[in-house]
A and B are shown apart, each in its own frame.
Chain A
Amino acid sequence: MTDGLTRIVHTPPSAHLIDILPPGVVLYGADGAALTQALRYWSRKVIGVDFMGPLSEIPPAEILESVDVVLYAEGEKELIKNFHRLPRRRVLCRIPSGSGLFDSIKLVASLNIVPDLLQNLEEISPEQALDVVRYYLHHRALQVPIEPFHSILSRLVLSQNLDLWEMARYNPDHFVFLDAEGNVGLSYEDLADKRFLGTIHQDPVSWKKSEVYRDLSRFLNELPQTHPECLACPFFFFCRGYMRYKRGECMTLTAVLEELRQASVEIYELRELFADVGQLPAQLEVEEGSRSRTANPQNRDIRDEPV
C-alpha cells in the first residue's frame, strides 16, 4: 500500500493475499484449519482473528494467545460447550440482537468473554440497550467490560478522542477488508454486497475514485444540508454521522450516550472528590492494560493516547 498510511487489513487466510500485505493483518473466516495454518505461517504479520465458524473448529488456544480474537458465536450453548477451546486472553464476542439478548450478554460475560453490541446497536430498542448499559455500570459482580459501552465511557472519563467510524472499523484510511479475490471493501457487509473500493493490487490513492468512496465523501460533505440534525447533536463528537450513514437511525445510540455521559460526569466528580485520597473505590476503577486492549482489539489502547 503506497499512500503512506498504516492500515489494518482484514483478509481471508489466503497465502497469495497475506504474502503481499505488510504487518497489521486480521484474519477472518469460518475455516478453523485454514486460519490455523495461516496463523502459524504468518504469525509476525497477524494481529487479530475474526472467527466466524463453529467454535468446535476454532484454531488452538495456544496460537490465539498472541492475537486479538473476535467471535461470531451462534449462541450460548455453543459457547458453553466450547469454552475450553478459547484462549485465556480475553476475547470479544459479537452478540446478535433478538429476544434473550440480555441473558446472552450475562452468560457471555460470566464466561469471561467480552460481549460486543456495536454492530447491532440500532437493532436493539433504546429500553433494551439501557438495561444493558445500567447492568454494565452498576452490576458489582461483572468482571468484564461490555462493548462498546466500556470504550465509550473510558474515553469520556479521560476526555480522549472518540470516533464511531473508527470504533466500527469503517474508515478506509485505517481499515480495509479483502475478499478471496483481493477486492477491497470498507466492511464485511460491503464485501458481501460487492461494494468495492478497488483491489489490493491498486494504489490506494485510486480507491478514492470508486463510487463507494465518492458516495461516502458526498454523504459527509453534504451532511450540513442533508442532516442538519446531526451537526446540532451533542453526540456528534462521537457518532460523526456514522449512524445516519449506516443505519439511518440513532435513537438507541443517543439514549446510550446520554446514559454514559451522565455516568462519566459522576465518575469525574468522584475522581475530583477523591483526588487527595489518591485512589477511587475499587468498583469505580477503570481497568487498564489487557482488558481495554482486548475489549477493543482494533483500536489502540487508550493508554497509548496522551490525555
Chain B
Amino acid sequence: MRHVTLVIKTTQACNAACIYCSSWKEDYTEINMSEETLRALHVRLAEYAQEGDLEDVLFTWHGGEPLLMDNSFYYRALDLQEELLKPLGIKVGNIMQSNLLSLNEKKAEMLVKLLHFHDGQPSSVGTSFDPIPGIRVMKHGDYERRFREAVSVAQEYGIALGLVYTVHKYSVDRVKEIYDFLTSEFPDMTIRFNPLYHEGRALLPEGERYYITPREWGRFIVELHEIWDADDKKHTIEPFAALWDFHQGTGYSLDCEHSGSCSEHHLGIGTDGTVYCCCRGVDLARRPYGNLNSEKLASILMSPYRVQLHNRSIYLRMTVCRDCKWWRYCHGGCPVESDISYGDLFHPTSWCEGWERYFDTIFGSPREETPGSS
C-alpha cells in the first residue's frame, strides 16, 4: 500500500442529531480515541514504511464530531507525524470532516496548522448542511445560525470548505431548489451529493420516512446533472465532475464509490484502534481487519475481509455485472452499501438502478476503452 487514505474516528461524541447520521449507535464502547491509540496508529504506519513501501498518507479526521476533541489531540497528531513519519520520507496530509458547530477562533487556529495536503498546500474541511428544517439538528442550539457563524469564522481564517449533501425523501423532489440554494449560499464550495444510506440513526423507526428508492435517486441525479449542465458546470458537483471527466477521457480518477479499488488505498480506524475498510466500514462495524494496538499494519492488511473486498470487483465482473456496459464507470458501487443493503459484499450496490438510469440518460454510451483507462 504505497498511498493510503485513512479516515480516523477521533470520537463518537457529537453535538448534533442529524436524522441520517451513519455513525450513530445506541451505545459505544469507547467514545474518544486515546492518546495511546493515536500513537499506535503512527507507530504502525512507521513500521509498515520501514518494512515495505509507503509513500504518502492522507489523514482524514472524522467522527462523531472531531472538533469536540481538544486541540491538544490534533497538535499531538502533528507532533507524531513529525517525529515518526516525515523522517522516513513519508508525505503526510491532513483533512477533516466536521459539522463546524463548535468551530471558534482557537479551533480555527489549530485547523490552519493541521490542514494541508502532501505538498504542503492548505487542504480543507468537508462539512454538511441541509436547508430543510429538522434534518440536521443541533442538540443544543440553532443549527443554521451556528453553522453560518462557523462558516464565517472559517472564511476569516482562510479555511477552505467542501459540502456534502445527503438526499432524502423531503429533498428528492426539490432538485432545483436544493441546487440553487447550495450554490448561491456556498458558491466556492465543492458540493457532493450522496443518497441516504440505511444505517445509523436512519435505522430507527422514525428514520424510514426519509428513505429514497434507487429509482428516485436516479431521477434526482439525472435532473441535478441537467441543471448543473445548464449552469455551464460552473460549480464543482461530485460525483458528476469526476464521472464527466472520466467520460470525456480528461480524467481517470473516479471516487471511491465507483473506483472498484477502494480497498487498495482506504482504511477506516475506529476510536479503539480497530481497522476497517473505510469510514462507512467503521460505522457498520461488521468486518474488522484487526486492531492497531495489538497487530502490525502489514498483518492487518492481510485480513481475509480485505482480500474479499479486493476480489469483489473481479467476482462481480464475472457474474452479475458481466454484461453491464457501464462497468468501467461503476465497478459495482460501494461494497459497504452492498453489505448494508444485502448483508453481502458480493452484490452490486442497491443504487444500481439509479446509477444506470443516470449513465444511460446523461452519457448514452460508455466512452471507448483506451489503454490504462479502466
* A residues whose Cβ falls under 8 Å from a Cβ of B: 217, 220-221, 223-224, 231-234, 236-237, 240, 306-307
Contact = CB atoms under 8 A, between A and B. Distances in A.
Most buried by A among B305, B320, B345, B346: B346
Nearest to A232: B304
A232 B319 contact: no
A145 B312 CA distance: 32
Given A220-B319, A232-B305, A236-B307, 18 more contacts: A217-B319, A220-B318, A221-B320, A224-B315, A231-B311, A231-B315, A231-B346, A232-B304, A232-B311, A233-B307, A236-B315, A237-B310, A237-B311, A237-B314, A240-B315, A306-B371, A306-B372, A307-B371
B319 A233 contact: no
B344 interface: yes
Given A231-B308, A306-B371, A236 B314 contact: yes
B136 to A, nearest CB: 37
Closest 4 CB pairs of A and B: A306-B371, A232-B304, A224-B346, A236-B311
A234 B345 CA distance: 16
A233 B371 CA distance: 28
B308 A232 contact: yes
A223 B315 contact: yes
15 contacts: A217-B319, A220-B318, A220-B319, A221-B319, A223-B346, A224-B315, A231-B346, A232-B304, A232-B305, A232-B307, A232-B308, A232-B311, A234-B307, A240-B318, A307-B372
Contacts of A240: 314-315, 318
A223 B318 CA distance: 11
Contacts of A217: 319
Nearest to A222: B319
Interface in B231-246: none
Interface in B289-319: 302, 304-305, 307-308, 310-312, 314-315, 318-319
Contacts of A232: 304-305, 307-308, 311
A232 B306 CA distance: 8
Contacts of A306: 371-372
Interface string B125-165: 00000000000000000000000000000000000000000
A104 B225 CA distance: 64
Contacts of B308: 231-232
Contacts of A233: 307, 311
Nearest to A173: B322
Contacts of B320: 221
A211 B305 CA distance: 33
Contacts of B311: 231-233, 236-237
Contacts of B315: 223-224, 231, 236, 240
Contacts of A223: 315, 319, 346
A160 B346 CA distance: 23
Contacts of A231: 307-308, 311-312, 315, 346
Interface in B337-374: 344-346, 371-372
Nearest to B314: A237
A76 to B, nearest CB: 39
B371 A224 contact: no
Nearest to B320: A221
Contacts of B314: 236-237, 240
Contacts of B319: 217, 220-221, 223
B31 to A, nearest CB: 33
A223 B315 CA distance: 9
A289 B96 CA distance: 51
Given A240-B318, A306-B372, A224 B344 contact: yes
Contacts of A221: 319-320
